[in-house]
Structure 1
């Protein structure tokens, strides 16, 4: 999904607002073919480790009650673990996932 499409899609997420340090993510489409033209088997298509941040919560609170802001923002591309997300279906076609910010492995800076 292009970064330019993020503001249009972000309006849809006013219905869902992640709480605390939660992040709403749209997983990237699985790669079906390598750059060299090799078609990948279905087993490799099921594991998607990249996603685009669609919405973020306000952040968690520390022991003294101060709010710690989330380190990612809508439009960021991130690396994700295999497990640990809650699946959310907003439309029949659109599936999103909610992760804790601490579960996100890395932010991709390209």
Structure 2
């Protein structure tokens, strides 16, 4: 029963973060315990081949309990090899939803105009 409650809590937290990220203009794909946020602006105007080769900036974030059992958001970074599991880096407590959404949006931001 406790596992189901944790699962339901994660689903709710993911849905809340998804809504906030979409409000910031990001595309979001939600999985069982994580989501992938994507800045779709990067591939605007590109050819189909260009979009396939460079689908835009994206970042995976997962919600998991920390060592004390408190739900946290974690960045998921690619492991050192293609088949290695992702590496987790703490982002913030899951209750700090607004800060997490702003931070993710900032990481995926594209500057306006030429560099």
TM-score (norm: length of structure 2): 0.30
**Larger helix proportion of the pair:** 2
